[in-house]
Chain A
Amino acid sequence: MNTVAESPLKRPGSLEKNPKLAQWLRVHRDGTVSIFSGKVEIGQGISTALAQIAAEELGVALERIRMVAANTAVSPDEGVTSGSLSIQDSGVALRRACAQARTLLLKSAAARLGVSVRDLQVADGTVRTAGRSTSFWECADDALFDCKVDETAALRSPRDYQVVGKPAPRRDLPDKIAGRPRFIQDITLPGMLYGRMVRPPYNFAGPVSLDDSKVKSMPGLAAIVRDGGFVGVLAEREDVAISAQRALRVTASWREVDALPRDVHAWLKEHAAEHRVISEKENADAKSRAGKVLEASYTKPYISHASIGPSCAIARIDDGKLMVWSHSQGIFNLRRDLALALGMREDAIIVRHAEGAGCYGHNGADDAALDAALLARAAGGRPVQVQWMRDDEFAWAPCGPAMALSLRAALDSHGDIVDWEHELWSNGHSSRPGRADNPALLAAWHLSRAYERPSAINMPLPAGAADRNAIPIYDFPNQRVVNHYVHEMPVRTSALRSLGAYANVFAIESFMDELAQAAGRDPIAFRQRHLKDPRGRAVMDAAARRAEWSHWKPAESRGHGIGFARYKNLGAYCAAVAEVEVGHDVRVNRLILAVDVGLVINPDGVINQIEGGAIQSTSWTLREQVRLGARGIASLGWEDYPILKFSEVPVVEVELLDRPELPAVGAGEAAQGPAAAAIANAVAHALGLRVRDLPLTHERIAAAISQST
């Protein structure tokens, strides 16, 4: 076997925080290996990819790997499963841990057989030498891994990979497709009570009045729990809990707080509190060549997570200890904020991850955990399961922030960009738990001893948050990028898949097309004139080739368009070509995506993530906007918040550019911006005019047409 002494990856993933080998794996006598990862399965297939990495470095069959669901009592703390970082964080750590484990197991086997390691033949954990044999399983001994992970351990060369790089079926799908209990919603514990929350669908400051006289006498009702503005019900049956919730809600009146702005994008521009220049480049010579100047403004609405399964949690308080089951993306962070909100010590709380419905960012999972814990206080030691109703989810889960963007650029007489400005206005893109002095958990803001709601923040560049992908990847001689941060938060916002990258890439790539048109150039050729990065050029070429870009046959109401980005300017490269038809509505007929994620761990997993991301982005781009009423979110059901349906979903084709020699990066968010921009550009191509406000609905297009005539 060829080995390489050092991987090209510089960062040791999550090893910095979790340096002990025993934190990452345990080898069992029954021929299996438990892998402990702090990253969690949220429908993206990460547990399968991480199992592949572990099997590869250990040199054992994939079936021997058991992925242990993350649990604050036993798992390494790997922060939050977000930002398409699990392969970089957990994958890199596991790769090194498993490589070292293999070396230690081989040494132990050699000692047991009385030979040197180089005399051993190893296959799937069985170790042989001259007619005698032992195995990793016989050598299994916890003391063996009681050491620090050696960051310089020899790693298997990607050239020799047997498991990594091959499609592996998702390990969680057999249960999910057979309909077996698998989700947190499916867990039933002995003596479990069912809880539901009583909240109005708008910002409030506690109930003014509540008439519980009728509800109290409902058969099967266990408790009505009130603490300030926190109101919930507990019942022996789930349907009784729901009936009690509904009955209480109609009797409740709430103290209302601030009205919402009517024009949120204008409001954002008026309320920016911090103005940060995040990139500046100057070249006076190039600037002096500026000729034609273009300006354009773009907007993106609030977007809902809109997972099919509303948030859920289970909690049990027993002897002063709290056990919580949650589909949170960050169980350690959640534990910290639960401790804050409940006035408990962190070591009295265990949070166990359980799989939930699709997660695309910071949804209601963490909030539901505090809801369940607060109700569990009134449950006399019995476990409590809380599931939010559909309107709870739409009203209370954080939204992806609305954004306003203004771009300006100058072309020289050759049609090259010599000056570029990009300004954006947005709330913060993260209000996740575990980061502020106050708990970032909904119920904590309504308790009689209420905490103030922390404002959403932005993580620093280079990954960024509102400004993620705001700095152009193109090579412009002059540029200025400004992030106007809005602190005040009329609608609760937090991380939604790709954060600001969706809007920034939509705006940059739309504007690149507007400039290409002004320069009289083909959109792809125009981009490539401004892009040196060969990996970026390669994905554009691959997408253009597959889409037969240069053989486009013009037809009435039809158009095609390109969108491109490197996610966070650090991660996966993705180019998308969209083919659309504009009738009453926009129909995307076909999306072609070319993607470079470096080394591919699970090709079918990457393709599935890119397909899913592209379809979700199509839905955001064509259909989705959170509707605001005077006091709160008004889109509380699927009729007000339509998402793309089966008959509206485009054909999606994905081409992977495998680069086994380059570090593996995540794929989950790479398609969001490029797909949106490709669709917007294709719509502009079809119509001959541009719609700059998302989503690209019939109303928006009709308005753009009437403005142009």
Chain B
Amino acid sequence: MSERFRLTVNGASSEIAASAQTPLLYALRNDLSLKGTRFGCGSGQCGACFVLIDGNPAPACDTPLWAAAGKRITTVEGLSKGGELHPLQHAFLAEQAAQCGYCTSGILISAAALLARNPRPTESEVRAALDRNLCRCGSHNRMVRAVLRAASEIAL
């Protein structure tokens, strides 16, 4: 049954026609062409599809449209402002903190949520905050360094 849902994504409002159970992931990727949020497992266990919902990281693959409607949704595309990358993204580039890059969007989302609530995290706090995200290539340590670098640059 197709219904209409109003989504607020990266500050912009749009209407999606789909069934209520449609995972937010497909509305983002295919209706709104926001491809940075990626499918990994379909059950919220890997973090590749994380977006911020009212500021909290949540799996878009496991969030139905009815639950996402009316909430503030931020995707990786929404981390940059006016074409300028988020300090986390600058730090990821500076640290070359990726190999394949498929998990990167979801990790940036978890890291952005962390820095919003804890601007000067310790290394172990960063690791704990990223534990819901899986990385298979082994870029973990570079990503942790990048988050710490971003935190110190934001503080300057």
Q: A308-B46, A612-B99 are in contact. Are A637 and B41 (CB under 8 A)?
A: yes
Contacting pair B99 A608 (CB below 8 A): yes
| Interface size band for B | 35 or more
Known: A42-B100, A357-B100, A647-B127. A188 touches B141 (CB 8 A): no
**Contacting pair B138 A647 (CB below 8 A):** no
**Number of interchain pairs (Cβ within 8 Å):** 178
CB-based contact B96/A614 at 8 Å: no
**Among candidates B41, B46, B89, B131, residue contacting A177 with C-beta atoms closer than 8 Å:** B89
State whether A645 touches B92 (Cβ < 8 A): no
B42 and A389 form a contact (CB under 8 A): yes
Of all chain B residues, the one with the shortest Cβ separation from A649 is B140
> Would you give the shortest CB distance from B154 to chain A, in whole angstroms?
17
Most buried by A among B23, B38, B85, B124: B38
B40 at the binding interface (Cβ < 8 Å): yes
Q: Does B14 contact A (CB under 8 A)?
A: no
* Cα distance A174–B85 in the bound complex, in angstroms: 10
A179 interface residue per 8 A CB criterion: yes
Contact assessment for A390 and B100 in the assembled complex, using a CB-CB cutoff below 8 Å: no
Let me know if A611 is at the binding interface, CB within 8 A: yes
Q: Mark B31-42, 1 if CB is under 8 A from A, else 0.
A: 001011111111
Question: Which residues of chain A in 110-136 are interfacial with respect to chain B, using CB atoms and an 8 Å cutoff?
Answer: none
B134 located at the interface, meaning its Cβ lies under 8 Å from any Cβ of chain A in the complex? yes
In the assembled complex, the Cα of A355 lies from the Cα of B141 at a distance in Å of 23
Q: Which residues of B contact A42 (CB under 8 A)?
A: 100
A166 to chain B, nearest CB (A): 13
Residues in chain B near residue A612, CB distance under 8 A: 99, 137-139
Are A646 and B39 CB-contacts (below 8 A) given A177-B89, A358-B102, A612-B139?
no
B24 → A minimal CB distance (Å): 10
What's the minimum C-beta distance from B130 to chain A, rounded to whole angstroms? Answer: 4
**How far does the alpha carbon of A639 sit from the alpha carbon of B45 in the complex, in Å?**
8
Judging by beta carbons under 8 Å apart, are B141 and A638 in contact?
A: no
**Distance between B143 CB and nearest chain A CB, rounded to angstroms:** 8
Chain B 101-130 per-residue mask, 1 if CB under 8 angstroms from chain A, else 0: 111110010000000000000001011101
Q: Is the CB of B137 within 8 A of A616?
A: yes
Main secondary structure of the interface of B (DSSP, over half): loop
Interchain CA distance A356-B38 in the complex, whole Å: 12
Instruction: Tell whether, in the assembled complex, residue A310 and residue B43 are in contact, meaning their CB atoms are under 8 Å apart.
Output: no
List CB contacts (< 8 Å) of A386-414 with chain B. 387, 389-390
A649 to B141, CA, bound (A): 8
Contact across chains for A237 and B99 when beta carbons are under 8 A apart: no
User: Contact string, B1-17, partner A, CB cutoff 8 A, digits 1/0?
Assistant: 01000000000000000
- Which of chain A's residues have a CB closer than 8 A to the CB of B124? 647
Q: Is A541 part of the contact surface with B, judged by Cβ < 8 Å?
A: no
Q: Which residues of B contact A308 (CB under 8 A)?
A: 40, 46, 48, 100, 102-103, 134-136
Q: How far is the CB of A394 from chain B (nearest CB, A)?
A: 10
Per the bound structure, the CA–CA distance linking A647 and B128 in Å amounts to 6
B4 to chain A, nearest CB (A): 15
Docked CA distance A644–B75 (Å)? 26
Question: A515 contacts which chain B residues (CB < 8 A)?
Answer: none
B residues 58-95 touching A (CB-CB < 8 Å): 75-77, 79-80, 85, 89, 92-93
Contacts of A170 in B (CB 8 A): 96, 98
CA separation between A619 and B54, bound complex, in Å?
34
**Contact partner, A604, options B38, B75, B96, B134, Cβ 8 Å:** B96
The answer to whether B42 and A390 touch across the interface, beta carbons within 8 angstroms, is: yes
How many Å lie between the Cα of A186 and that of B108 in the bound state? 18
Known contacts A179-B36, A308-B136, A639-B45, A43 near B99 by CB under 8 Å: yes
Question: B23 to nearest A CB, angstroms?
Answer: 6
Which residues of chain A come closer than 8 Å to B152, judged between CB atoms?
A: none
Of all chain A residues, which has the CB nearest B103?
A308
Q: How far is B30's CA from A356's CA once the two chains are assembled, in angstroms?
A: 18
Chain B positions within 8 Å of A522 at CB level: none
Residues from chain A with a CB closer than 8 A to the CB of B149 are: none
Given A177-B98, A183-B102, A239-B18, A307–B130 Cβ distance below 8 Å?
A: no
Binding site for B on A (CB under 8 A): 42-45, 169-170, 172-174, 176-183, 185-186, 188, 219, 237-239, 242-243, 306-310, 355-360, 387, 389-390, 604, 608-609, 611-616, 619, 637-639, 643-647, 649, 651-652
Would you give 14 A-B contacts (Cβ < 8 Å), ordered by A?
Answer: A45-B99, A169-B93, A176-B100, A177-B92, A178-B36, A179-B37, A185-B39, A237-B18, A238-B26, A310-B40, A389-B42, A613-B138, A638-B41, A639-B45
The 5 closest A-B pairs by CB, nearest first: A179-B36, A43-B100, A176-B101, A615-B138, A179-B76
